[in-house]
Structures are given as C-alpha cells and as structure tokens.
C-alpha cells in the first residue's frame, strides 16, 4: 500500500491541493498527517479527494472539535496504530515520544520542525517537511510504501 505523508500544512490551500494532486497521481490509498492543519477549512480541503486520512493534532490545532467533526480519525499524539500490517506511530513533536513506544513502531512519523528528514531503519523515521511552505518556501510531502518500507520526499 502506498501512503501519502504530510505535516504542517498550516492552512495553505494551494500547497494542500498540489500535495493531493501528487498523491492521486501516485495512487496513495491513505494519507497520514502529523499535525498543524490549523483551521477546519484546511481539513475540508484535505478530505476532498475522499482518501482516508489519519492524523494527530499539532500545537497550532486550536479548533480540535471542529477538526474532529470533519475527520473522526484525528487523534491526540502520539498515536500508534496498524495499517496494512505495519505499526505506524504518528505524532507532532518527535521529542515528546517515549523510547518504549518508538520501539514498537515500524514507521515513526512526526513534524513540527518544518524540515524534512527520512532515516532508514527500524523504525523508519519520516518527517515529510512543511506542506504549507511558510517557513522555508519549499513545500514538501513524502510517499511511503508500506510493503517495502521505503519512503521518499517529494517537493510540491
């Protein structure tokens, strides 16, 4: 299964649309978001293609009830769950997660720094960088293959 990974989209509808176009082209079956959607209207945009979205809240997601009303699968971080036979650990702040939890994961996805990072191993570490592009002007996302456990960054 191919998965689209996002973080820190921060209300940027333009880059959200571009990321989704890329995900559709790649045939992703699920989107994982490491937090900081910000306003519910941004969540609405993320859900438009009808692809399943699993996410966690970030520090800028003040409107939690509004976000959750749109997407039931937005959780408090850290959130460990199974997808296509793999244990996925999804969070916003990487530093706040206990080592014991990280050890249970095949893939560890986080955001907040707005800087992309992929580190192979067990788990596979993925920060897709900032989808919103506000900080560094280089909006990015990641594509993750859950069969081969490979991931790469895409600039959008």
Q: Provide the binding-site residues for Ni ion, judged by CB under 5 A.
A: 36, 58-59, 112
User: In terms of CB distance, is 111 or 123 closer to Ni ion?
Assistant: 111
Minimum CB distance to Ni ion, residue 92 (Å): 6
In terms of CB distance, is 36 or 146 closer to Ni ion? 36
- Selection from 138, 118, 137 nearest residue 127 by Cα: 118
Using the minimum distance from each CB to Ni ion, give the nearer residue, 7 or 146. Answer: 7
Q: Which residue is nearest to Ni ion (CB)?
A: 112
Kindly state the smallest distance separating residue 110's Cβ from Ni ion, in Å: 10
Total Cβ atoms within 10 A of residue 132:
24
Q: How far is the CB of 93 from Ni ion (least distance, A)?
A: 7
Q: How far is the CB of 58 from Ni ion (least distance, A)?
A: 4
Alpha helices in 10-156 (DSSP H): 13-26, 40-47, 64-70, 99-103
Other C-beta atoms closer than 10 Å to the C-beta of 76 total 10
If the CB atoms of residues 57 and 125 are measured against Ni ion, the closer one turns out to be: 57
**Percent helix, strand, coil in the chain (nearest 5)?**
25, 30, 45
- Distance separating alpha carbons of residues 134 and 149, to the nearest angstrom: 29
């Amino acid at each position: 299964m191919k998965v689209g990974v996002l973080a820190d989209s921060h209300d940027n509808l333009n880059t959200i649309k571009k990321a989704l176009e890329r995900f559709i082209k790649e045939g992703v079956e699920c989107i994982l978001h490491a937090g900081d959607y910000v306003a519910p209207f941004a969540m609405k945009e993320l859900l438009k293609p009808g692809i399943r979205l699993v996410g966690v809240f970030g520090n800028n997601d003040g409107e939690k009830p509004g976000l959750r009303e749109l997407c039931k699968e937005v959780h408090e971080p850290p959130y460990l769950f199974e997808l296509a036979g793999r244990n996925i650990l999804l969070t916003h702040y990487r530093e706040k997660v206990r080592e014991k939890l990280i050890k249970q994961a095949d893939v560890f996805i986080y955001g907040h720094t707005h800087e992309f990072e992929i580190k192979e191993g067990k788990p596979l570490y993925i920060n897709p960088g900032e989808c919103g592009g506000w900080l560094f002007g280089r909006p990015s996302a990641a594509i993750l293959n859950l069969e081969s456990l490979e991931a790469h960054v895409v600039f959008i």
